[in-house]
Amino acid sequence: MKIHEYQAKDILAKYGIPVQPGKVAHTPEEAEAIARELGEPVVIKAQVYVGGRGKAGGIQFGDTPEQAREAATRVLGMDIKGLTVEKVLVTSKIDIKDEYYLGIVLDRKSQAPVVMVSTAGGIDIEEVAEKTPEKIIQQPIDMRWGLRPFEALDIVTRAGFPSNILRQSAAILAALAKAFIESDANLAEINPLAYTTDGKVLAADGKIVIDDNGLFRQKEYATWAEPEEANPLEYEAKQAGLTYVKLDGDVGIIGNGAGLVMTTLDMVARAGGKPANFLDIGGGAKAEVMYKSLTFVARDPQVKGILVNIFGGITRGEEVAKGVIMAQAELPKGMPIVVRLSGTGAEEGRALLKDAGLDWGKDMRDASEKIVAAIARTEKGL
């Protein structure tokens, strides 16, 4: 479950991490009142569940309460990557001298939270990892002890933080680790950790993602969930009982079993396509589940074609084929669908698909190549 920046900062502040004073406004008038209350220049920051707010114009400044109101007027109602800005964080403007990065993420390989620290703050850590990986210091956290103060100090020292902010930064990193663990998070980051011209070190921006599986313990945080979390489709999928994750491509992906679906994403990418989503129908799915899944994936305007990849066990191939055929009338006209069936009921399913005039792949690679080629032909009007 994603949360907004202002909510992440509330959590950080609870663990003693310095943050700028600020409040949330839903109208320009509220933004003006908050700026007047703060009594200093402010930053108006869009509160949506996506990155890239600054590039989209979702972060603006106001040196006076009147300018704050004007800035909020411009930001509220703005569309950022498909999400409408309904509230803004009005917070004190700071004069930043240097920016750093502190982050903690769950690492499947080490099966532990991993600390990531860098002197290259203020930009996406993925970009730093790609271009200058040597600037990132990583260290797993031993869950028996958490991140101890001397370990935090060693990490920021190895990362090359200036000596005059080492102890402050180490204390913030240790507190971030405590917040991560006790909040059942799977991601917590401060980017940037700002060193201001007046010598303060504080979290200028914060991001926390809470593990859905821990929400039964995090009752307060569970109430923060909103329909537009991450993407409206993801929220609707959750309500409908579908295991769905929105991605950025145009190839809809449906499979049974997380491992098979992930492999399908990779195979589509290898064939030159870009997956639009992850959707796992699970085991034992009937025709109705396949029908619901296909029509749901097709609702994404980015989807130009759909690949269904099923390994039949308790999920029978003929049931999958029936669901695909049922969905035909509900899908956008001309949208290509390629189905790969293997295992229980595969032959029967392929026979049904053939009778309905639908394409199927002999294996995962063939199916992936077929859907990518079909989308390319459709876009060319062939």
Q: Is 100 annotated in the active site? A: no
Rounded Cα distance, 198 and 312, in Å: 64
Q: Based on the number of CB atoms within 10 Å of its own CB, is 95 exposed (0-12), middle (13-18) or buried (19 or more)?
A: exposed
What residue type is assigned to position 288 of the chain?
E
Q: Which residues are annotated as a binding site?
A: 45, 52-54, 94, 99, 191, 205, 256, 313-315
Rounded Cα distance, 43 and 92, in Å: 6
Q: Is 127 annotated in the active site? A: no
| Strand ranges (E), the chain | 22-25, 42-46, 59-62, 79-80, 83-84, 88-92, 96-107, 112-118, 136-140, 185-196, 201-203, 206-210, 243-246, 251-255, 277-280, 305-312, 337-343, 359-360
What residue type is assigned to position 299 of the chain?
R
Q: Which one of the listed residues 5, 30, 32, 189 is annotated catalytic?
A: 189
Check if the beta carbon of residue 2 is closer than 8 Å to that of residue 196. no
Q: Which residues are annotated as a binding site for ATP?
A: 45, 52-54, 94, 99
Angle at 193 between CA 162 and CA 144, to 5 degrees: 90
Question: Which structure tokens are listed for 110?
Answer: 């080490």
Q: Which one of the listed residues 101, 195, 244, 291 is annotated catalytic?
A: 101
Helix (H) or strand (E) holding 228: none
Q: Which residues are annotated as a binding site for substrate?
A: 256, 313-315
Q: Which residue has the tokens 């989209």?
A: 56
Name the residues annotated as catalytic: 101, 189
